[in-house]
Every structure is written in C-alpha cells, then in structure tokens.
Amino acid sequence: MGRMSQQSSTAPGPDGHGDRQCDRSGQRRATVVDVAQRAGVSTATVSRVMNRNYPVAAATRERVEAAMRELGYVVNAHARALAGTSARTVGIIVSELIDPFYAYIARGVEREATDGDRLCLVCCTQGDPQRELAFIELMHERRADAVVLVGGSVEDRAYKAELARRARELDAGGSKLVLCGRPSLGDGVPTVGVEYDNEGGAFAITDHLITQGHERILYLGGPPGLSTARDRLAGHRRALELRGIARDRELEQPGAFSRAFGYRRMTELLREGLEFTAVFAANDIVAAGAAQALEEAGVRIPLDMSLVGYDDIPVAQDLRPRLTTVRIPLEEMGRQAVRVALNGGDEDDWRAPTTGTLRLGTHIVVRESVAAPRSTLPGSARPRRS
C-alpha cells in the first residue's frame, strides 16, 4: 500500500508539531480514506456506497455505512465538486429579501432548487448594480449551476455590457445566467429568461380605471431608470392613448418603489391641488403609502378617489378597502427560472439556442378600491382643490 510515501504525515510527528490539532476544537474530520480503512474496503467503494450509483454487496455497504456513522463522517462537498460533479447550487440575486415581490420569487427559486436536490445561495444588492455584478462573480466562483437575477434592471449601457460579459463567462463554464422579470440582453448574449406581461398588466388595469369612467389618472412611483417601471408606464400610456385620452405630464409622477415615496408625493400632490380621480401606483407598496396619505387627508377610497396597485403582494389584502391590483405569478416565476436554466442546455439540448425566454401572464384582481369618479355621478361636485 502506497501511503506514507513522504515523511510528512500520519504518525505522531517526529518533532512534536506538524500534526497538532487533536487537542482543541476539532480532531481532523474523517475522510473517505478513514472510512475505507475502518470498513476494510477501498475509497472507491466508499464513494459507491454514498452515491448509490453502482452495485455494492449488501454486506459491504453495511460495513461502510457503519464506519461512516461511527466516524461521524460527512462528505466534503468541495472535494466532490472539484472532482467533477456539479456543485448542486443555484444562486439568486435580489435587491431586497424583505420586499415580498422578491421574497416570493426567491421562494419559488428555493423550492425548485431544493426539489432538484440543490442548495441556494442568496444575495441582496440593496439596489446597487455594482454589487449585483460582484455577486454574479462570486457565484461563478462557486460554480453555481445557475444564477438567477431577479427584478427590474437599470437601463445603463456600460452596466449591460458588463452583465453580458459575465453571462458569457458563466455560459462558457456551463452555467446559465437567468433573467427573471427583466429584459433580455440581446440575441448575442447567452442567457435564459422568465418574464411576465408587465406592460399588459399595466394596460389592463389602466383600462379598468378608464372603463369605470376615470380620465384623470395619476401614475405614481416607479424609478424612471428601471425596466420594470418603464414597462408599466408604457402600458399605462398605451391604454390612455387607445381610449383617446390626452397624456398629461403632470399626471405622471415616477419615483421610488417605496411606501415612503407613495406617501410623501401623494401628500404633496394633494396639497398642491392637482386634479385627478384615480391613482395607479406603480406597485402595491407605493399604493400603501398613497392610501395612507389619502386617509390622512380625509379623502375616501374609493368614494372620493380610486386607487390601484401592481404585484398583488399580501399588503394588497391588508389595506382597507382591499386593493385592486395586478397579479404576477411570482413564485411560479422563481420556479420556472431554475427550471429553464437547468433544462435549457444541460443535457436535453432540445433546440434551446441558449436564449430561451419564458413569458408568463398577468391579470388584474378586482377588489374594493375602485369606483366611478364622483364627478361623473349626477349632481355631485368634483373633489377639486376647493
């Protein structure tokens, strides 16, 4: 047997150091070699027992399993990954775990990953594109099978180029960059994607408002530089246009996707006396802020003002009245994201030219926050400035 080929190991150590460690916090973890020795078999057999991918005599197997148990053996996933098998990891990058929009998608990703016997690396960028890039790199270093990028992206040229570079690197290594809820990087870039009908949802809900008789609709929130916000605004405008309602720049009030923005801006607008009968908040969070401002100003929903949101996260049902909004299949998107990445080029190379994009639908959920504008009701004055 060829062990001890050098003068370095195993034995108590000639000079008193070299083999320290048995004293304090950790007596060297057991390895396949230890297990093999104890069970009187080769390391190959131990490996076979663990992976159950090869016939092993029942008796042998038992001996090996006993040895593993007795030694408290735990495989080293890194060694395993190094030796060739996949790291069985999928990475997910969101801007904020606290935000239900991301949390639901993350849940889908985590569940699908777990179902596929993989672990999930999760990172939060806190909205910083630079961190996003850095995290992709980190996950690449970890050799994640897929890296899921969630949510709207900044519309920046240099940033996109950088992203494309990372996507190519990942692809070259057999991993996939998944764009979940954000636009593709272009045909040349090897990514897969899962989108939802963002523009369509916005169109539908604005149309819903118009159908109820609203013409002066305030569009509130959504960072102008974010793809998500851009698409929602686009859908909103299209609905207006289709119905022949002239666009009014004053009624477009983009801003952060935050409750604070919704509250603050709405308060200001109310004070300034801007005229409108309905509000389309770019997402439910903004709507929650707006609702609070409205409440404090004594404006009743939906009597004096209609309000709708986007995303259909839980807060939509906690608001009073319950919020009419656009539902996105958040969790499903997460699941599909990993599915599409793992089947899109791994083995079943079934005509997925590296850039497969899945598109899921959205639909509006009608609750109690919309009514016909007062002004169209016979005999009532419009709730204008005063």
Partner DNA sequence: CTGAAAGCGCTAACAC
Partner DNA sequence: GTGTTAGCGCTTTCAG
* Whole-angstrom distance, CA of residue 229 vs CA of residue 109: 23
Structure-token match 């900044």, residue found: 154
Binds DNA by CB under 7 A, chosen from 19, 65, 71, 75: 75
CA-closest candidate to residue 152, choices 185, 183, 109, 121: 183
110 binds a copy of itself (CB under 8 A): yes
Which of the choices DNA, a copy of itself, none does residue 256 contact, using the CB cut-off of 5 to 8 A by kind? none
Token code pair at residue 317: 């049902």
Nearer to DNA, 57 or 260 (CB): 57
Number of neighbouring beta carbons within 10 Å of residue 5:
7
309 binds a copy of itself (CB under 8 A): no
366 binds a copy of itself (CB under 8 A): no
57 binds a copy of itself (CB under 8 A): no
Minimum CB–partner distance for residue 56 and a copy of itself (Å) = 21
75 binds a copy of itself (CB under 8 A): yes
Binds DNA by CB under 7 A, chosen from 37, 60, 258, 343: 60
273 binds a copy of itself (CB under 8 A): no
* Whole-angstrom distance, CA of residue 376 vs CA of residue 322: 23
Checking 380-384 for CB contacts under 8 A at 24+ apart, the result is 382/275, 382/277, 383/277, 383/299, 383/304, 383/305, 384/273, 384/275
66 binds DNA (CB under 7 A): no
Binding pattern to a copy of itself, positions 137-166, x when CB under 8 A?
xxxxxxx-----------------------
Alpha helices in the chain (DSSP H): 32-39, 43-51, 58-71, 77-82, 100-115, 129-141, 157-172, 198-211, 227-242, 259-272, 284-296, 315-318, 330-343
37 binds DNA (CB under 7 A): no
Which of the choices a copy of itself, DNA, none does residue 40 contact, using the CB cut-off of 5 to 8 A by kind? DNA
Report the half-sphere exposure of 105 (CA within 13 A, side-chain side). 32
Token code pair at residue 254: 């983009």
Count, residues near DNA per rule CB under 7 A: 39
Which of the choices a copy of itself, DNA, none does residue 107 contact, using the CB cut-off of 5 to 8 A by kind? a copy of itself
Choices 68-76, 125-133, 145-153, 284-292; region in contact with DNA by CB under 7 A: 68-76
Minimum CB–partner distance for residue 77 and a copy of itself (Å) = 4
Nearer to a copy of itself, 114 or 380 (CB): 114
* Whole-angstrom distance, CA of residue 31 vs CA of residue 48: 14
Binding pattern to DNA, positions 83-122, x when CB under 7 A?
xxx-------------------------------------
Binds DNA by CB under 7 A, chosen from 24, 27, 38, 56: 56
Burial 352-364 (b: 16+ CB within 10 A, else e): eeebbebeeebeb
* Whole-angstrom distance, CA of residue 185 vs CA of residue 136: 15
360 binds DNA (CB under 7 A): no
Are 323 and 360 in contact, with CB atoms under 8 Å apart? no
Report the half-sphere exposure of 196 (CA within 13 A, side-chain side). 28
CA-closest candidate to residue 76, choices 18, 113, 34, 110: 34
Residues contributing to the site for a copy of itself (CB under 8 A)? 25-27, 29, 72, 74-82, 87, 96-98, 100, 103-104, 106-107, 110-111, 114, 119-124, 137-143, 168-169, 171-174, 288, 295, 314-315, 318-320, 345, 354
List contacts with DNA (CB under 7 A).
1-2, 5-6, 8-9, 28-29, 31-33, 40-48, 50-51, 53-57, 59-61, 73, 75-76, 79-80, 82-85
